[in-house]
Amino acid sequence: DAGVIQSPRHEVTEMGQEVTLRCKLISGHNSLFWYRQTMMRGLELLIYFNNNVPIDDSGMPEDRFSAKMPNASFSTLKIQPSEPRDSAVYFCASTLYFNGATDTQYFGPGTRLTVL
Amino acid sequence: DAKTTQPPSMDCAEGRAANLPCNHSTISGNEYVYWYRQIHSQGPQYIIHGLKNNETNEMASLIITEDRKSSTLILPHATLRDTAVYYCIVINNYGQNFVFGPGTRLSVLP
């Protein structure tokens, strides 16, 4: 299995531009998580989905951020408009089905976003 | 909501056991203890988890105290490739509060 795939691996953009990060789940997994990691705040959960349905988006920082799962194996995280403070490494992770504490998450390699 | 505290950094000699402590004194009965690690520039990697019994897998052992207020992750024979940040987190049956703290930066020294 190829594992969780994220693209792009690096993204540099200018303030005000729209940014779209992509994630492909491990085949057969039904839960998808988006995280953001910065030096200041560490690793933060932004949102997670079960079977394409957003379950908890309380970590999404503001309306500029949106996440979707157009199908069972793919997700996007969009930032519009982007700001310099959005600069971070964004990880997605997947698991079989997140219905409790016994499910481990498999993380992708991350997308390093720099907003100038 | 249980929170965890870990020492910010530790050193370990290559080939020796690395014992990483974690305090979770406010853990509740339905919360599991999970350990992940993050090697530089990579995504976090699952290591092990447990509820109240000690657990062992091919990577590590997890020792949870009887009162469940603390735990220790043991890497029995640390190698240079085990140098990473190790995160101890607690999570309940509903998957809530999946919060990574600052973790422990383990340096395995030759």
**Percentage of chain B surpassing pLDDT 70?**
93
Q: Residue B52: name the closest of B68, B36, B71 by CA.
A: B68
Check A43 against B32: CB less than 8 A apart. no
Which residues of chain B make contact with A91, given a CB cutoff of 8 A? Answer: 43-44
Q: What is the DSSP string of A25-60?
A: PPTT--EEEEEEEETTTEEEEEEEEETTEEEE-TT-
Residue A108 forms contact with B (CB below 8 Å): yes
pLDDT for B99:
73
Q: Residue A81, SS3?
A: coil
Which residues of B sit within 8 Å Cβ distance of A?
30-32, 34, 38, 41-46, 49, 51, 87, 91-96, 98-103
Q: Is A110 on the interface with B (CB under 8 A)?
A: yes
**Strand duo A42-50 + A53-56: pairing:** antiparallel
Closest CA–CA distance from residue A70 to any residue of chain B (Å): 23
pLDDT of B96 higher than 70 = no
pLDDT digits (tens, 9 = 90+) for B48-83: 999 998 999 999 999 999 999 999 999 999 999 999
Q: Is B77 helix (H, G, I), strand (E, B) or coil?
A: coil
Residue by residue, pLDDT tens for chain A (116 residues) are 679 999 999 999 999 999 999 999 999 898 899 999 998 888 888 998 988 999 888 889 889 999 999 998 999 999 999 999 999 999 999 988 766 556 788 999 999 999 99
> How many angstroms separate the CA atoms of B94 and B105, rounded?
29
d(CA B96, CA A52): 18
Interface test with chain B among A7, A29, A89, A105, by most B beta carbons within 10 Å: A105
- SS3 call for A82: coil
- Both ends of chain B: CA-CA distance in Å? 39
